[in-house]
Amino acid sequence: MEPKNFHHPFQPYDIQQQFMQAVYDCIENGKVGIFESPTGTGKSLSLICGSLTWLREHKRKKFDEAMQNIEVDDDEPEWMAEHARESKRKEILHMRAEFEERLAKVREKERKLREKQTSGEPFRKKRKQDGPGEEREVDVEDQFALDDYNSDDEATPRQSGQSQYSAETTKLLEKLGMITPAKDDRTTDDIEEEMKIFFCSRTHSQLSQFVGELQRVHLPAGLPPEKPIGVPDQDPTKEATQAIKQITLGSRKNLCINPKVNKLSSQTAINERCMELQQSKTPSEKKCQYIPSKDDESLVLDFRDHALASIRDIEDLAGVGRKLGICPYYASRPAVTPAEMVTLPYPLLLQKTAREALGISVKGHVVIIDEAHNLIDAVEGICSAQVTISQLRSARESLMTYLQKFRNRLKGSNRMYVTQVVRVIDSLLQVATPLESEKGIGGVVQPSALLAGKGVDQINLTKLVRYISESKLARKVEGYVLHLKSAEDKSKPGEQHSQLPETPTLTHVQNFLTTLMNPSKEGRFFWSKENGSVILRYMLLDPSEHFRDIVEDARAVILAGGTMSPMEDYTQQLFPYLPSVSTLSCGHIIPSSNLLVRIVSANSDGPLEFNYKTRSSAHMMQRLGNAMLSVLPHIKGGTVVFFASYAYLEQVRKQWDQDGTGARMNVLKSTFFDSRSVSVEDTFRAYSDAVATDPKGALLFSVIGGKLSEGINFSDDLGRCVMVVGLPFPNLETPEWKAKMQYLDSRAAARGEASGKASREHAENVCMRAVNQAIGRAIRHKGDWASILLFDARYAQQRVQTKLPGWIKESLPVGDEAKGGRVDAVAKDVASFFFLKVGGHDHSMDLI
């Protein structure tokens, strides 16, 4: 059968075709999929082509069905019914064609502007900006006073930001689809909601790369072109392509164009300042000039058309806002409705509050999460919180200072709530303070103990947390304390001036209080000590519930990544309630001769096994050194060795310094060590220089999960050999891990599974995910080649090998050899591999 055309800009490799088909099928069947395609295999393009081909075909199918189902009177003759259908069809196609034409005109206008090199000019006259020094002189302390607050008005709970707009602005924002109206009485624009793909990645730079790939893809239109009645439809494969309509969403920090606001130091400060400027009590001359006003409807639509006319990343979008003189943060929202692809960073999708604030819903749409290997951590991170004892003390002290100054000016419910915050902090301190003298390093804390302080049982935590957020208590209190401190600083010239921190201390307390409202079965509270200071921490144990609303709302959800194995971790942790999940582990595009994978189980002195009991013996460390010394002479270019922890690496280094192994390695290679005390950039630069200049090659000792484990690629000569020493299991003795294991086992027991299996499986999965991340960085493109050596007899176990990515597993020798080899046999394989790869000019062979 002819493979399906996914409109890939190049002739796709088999694995790319397979990947695109899997993406297409997953969306078509409305499933959840976990797909892995190693780095360098064109994963982004495959995701784009697979999903957008589905989208355009789906649109065509839906359109054809809708046309077939247009209701006509039964007693009308067939020719009249046909005419009615054709008129409706023409009307819809004409409306779409008009929209496309508008976008085409914008593209043409931009092209001409670029040609004239006037891209720095505004598209239209900017609104007048406030001049410097126009700030109204007010009593400086007034700005720290709390506004009247009455939270008992619960009949109309506020949605983020909406209540802050004036009635006029609210009406306009509703009309433009920028906020959800209170009642369903929206007037809509001429554009209907499109089925869309929400594409999400971790950072804006990853999204920018994705947007770059999107620009290379050209697809036929979803709807057929307009044609006169009676003319048959064209063959869809011969139709002209139609530009993809894409919009990037970002935070105010990325998109604010008001120089008085975007220069503020933190995301929170920018958000709060922006909201303040929109409040109805703010004098109109002080409001942000870029927020759309009632006269700006056509400007907002202009922005929408400019945003959608070309594929743009976040910086381009801010540029469009600047040129049009309208806020891109708000004006981008109407562009979501007609967009086919919405790109956004993790937190904006994962947090329900962020989705609500942006007015986006994934209901019925497709969600693709790229770089999803960190998704579980991201969900857990968003829902977990911690507060230190010094933050609690400092927040309390600041509140008392604030109360002293403003007590008589606190109106409405302000005084009651501020007093409640102090009481709750006292309650937390009541638990944390005695722990300072505890001998242990940590343990579990019961939520009831955290709220056992005097009068705390009378406090409604939900209302209190809402109050802290809506009153902006944290900023007001911290701002006032800082103001006092600055006055003090001025009297002491030469001393460093205090600055408002990125996150106010009270916000840490607020975040922690929020976790106290979570259902107790989902998470646990812990205490621990770092540098002698007590930390109270909430850890989410079950991330599945926090991801479930996305899974249930979306038509299909795809988690994609370069290294997603072992995939059971995602199915068990994120989708335990789903009967099935589609999975695919793609092979690599490199020829099999470009990869050598071997397990090193033993050397002539005995087995190599680096578990907690055996790894610290001098014999085992010496044995490891000798095994490496047998292999290193055959390796050309760079070798990166990953250890399980900095502590173990230090231990091994000390041993090798004593027994002479270190000195022998230095003779063979220029040697470098990653360390907690040296900058990662310096270490990596020195290593890269040595790889480039030293004909013997270089050796870099690093740590899995350490500073060199993310964001640095070991492509080409930087990583011709990647070695992993041992299996980097997490420390299962910490209170957090114990709680997690207990939780997993109790959930598995409820399903009738054997005790201890689920927790052991999870620990192995976490360990192997870390190993896979490390070894996956050796091959980065289709011409790359490398060897991967796994030092530990446990890698020969079938259970461990099933957790390796497909393309690594395929490269392992089969039969008895798969069980692992003695280092002398492996050294021979390595020598032959390098001899073949360097085409007979293998300098390392001289050293054999």
Cis-peptide, bond into residue 543, ω within 30° of zero: no
Task: Give the shortest CB-118-to-ligand SF4 separation in angstroms.
Answer: 24
CA separation for the pair 620, 64 (Å, rounded): 70
Residue 274 or 771 having the CB closest to ligand SF4: 274
Task: Give the shortest CB-166-to-ligand SF4 separation in angstroms.
Answer: 13
C-alpha distances (whole Å) from 662 to each of 491, 615, 666 are 56, 18, 6
Task: Give the shortest CB-376-to-ligand SF4 separation in angstroms.
Answer: 32
Residue 264 or 445 having the CB closest to ligand SF4: 264
Residue 327 or 368 having the CB closest to ligand SF4: 327
Of the candidates 7, 3, 50, 2, which has an alpha carbon nearest to the alpha carbon of residue 28? 50
C-alpha distances (whole Å) from 579 to each of 205, 431, 575, 752 are 35, 43, 9, 16
Encoded tokens for 373: 């290997």
What's the one-letter identity of residue 765?
A: N
Task: Give the shortest CB-273-to-ligand SF4 separation in angstroms.
Answer: 7
Task: Give the shortest CB-255-to-ligand SF4 separation in angstroms.
Answer: 6
C-alpha distances (whole Å) from 279 to each of 127, 180, 376 are 20, 18, 38
Please list the alpha-helical segments (H only) found in 287-407. 297-309, 314-324, 328-331, 346-350, 352-358, 375-383, 389-406
Residue 116 or 125 having the CB closest to ligand SF4: 125
What SS3 class is residue 524? strand
CA separation for the pair 778, 770 (Å, rounded): 14
b/e string for 220-240 if b means 16 or more Cβ within 10 A?
A: bbbbbeeeeeeeeeeeeeeee
Residue 48 or 257 having the CB closest to ligand SF4: 257
What SS3 class is residue 588? coil
CA separation for the pair 108, 306 (Å, rounded): 11
Task: Give the shortest CB-135-to-ligand SF4 separation in angstroms.
Answer: 15
Tell me phi and psi for residue 352, to 5 degrees. Answer: -60, -40
Element (H, E) at 739: helix 735-750
Residue 327 or 763 having the CB closest to ligand SF4: 327
Residue 266 or 715 having the CB closest to ligand SF4: 266
Task: Give the shortest CB-261-to-ligand SF4 separation in angstroms.
Answer: 4
Q: What is the DSSP string of 209-223?
A: HHHHHHTT--EE-SS
What is the bridge-based pairing of β-strands 786-791 and 595-603?
parallel
Task: Give the shortest CB-21-to-ligand SF4 separation in angstroms.
Answer: 42
Helices 389-406, 473-490: crossing angle, 10 deg rounding = 80
Task: Give the shortest CB-257-to-ligand SF4 separation in angstroms.
Answer: 5
**C-alpha of 700 from chain center:** 29
Task: Give the shortest CB-311-to-ligand SF4 separation in angstroms.
Answer: 23
What SS3 class is residue 263? coil
Task: Give the shortest CB-275-to-ligand SF4 separation in angstroms.
Answer: 8
Determine contact, residues 530/511, Cβ cutoff 8 Å.
Answer: no
CA separation for the pair 121, 110 (Å, rounded): 11
Residue 291 or 459 having the CB closest to ligand SF4: 291
Residue 123 or 290 having the CB closest to ligand SF4: 290
Strands (E), 720-808: 721-725, 786-791
Residue 255 or 435 having the CB closest to ligand SF4: 255
What's the one-letter identity of residue 431?
A: V
What's the one-letter identity of residue 478?
A: E
Tell me phi and psi for residue 618, to 5 degrees. Answer: -60, -35
Taking only Cα atoms into account, the Rg of the chain, rounded to an integer number of angstroms, comes to: 31
Task: Give the shortest CB-278-to-ligand SF4 separation in angstroms.
Answer: 7
Torsion from C-alpha of 332, 334, 337, 341, nearest 10 degrees = -10
Residue 42 or 321 having the CB closest to ligand SF4: 321
Residue 258 or 310 having the CB closest to ligand SF4: 258
Tell me phi and psi for residue 758, to 5 degrees. Answer: -65, -40
- In the 8-state DSSP scheme, what is residue 771? H
Residue 23 or 299 having the CB closest to ligand SF4: 299
Task: Give the shortest CB-322-to-ligand SF4 separation in angstroms.
Answer: 10
Residue 267 or 511 having the CB closest to ligand SF4: 267
Give the residues lining the site for ligand SF4 (CB under 6 A).
252, 256-258, 261, 274, 277, 288, 290-291, 327, 329-330
Residue 290 or 834 having the CB closest to ligand SF4: 290
Task: Give the shortest CB-326-to-ligand SF4 separation in angstroms.
Answer: 9
- In the 8-state DSSP scheme, what is residue 710? S
Tell me phi and psi for residue 285, to 5 degrees. Answer: -70, -15
Task: Give the shortest CB-187-to-ligand SF4 separation in angstroms.
Answer: 23
Residue 345 pairs in a beta bridge with: 201
Determine contact, residues 748/682, Cβ cutoff 8 Å.
Answer: no
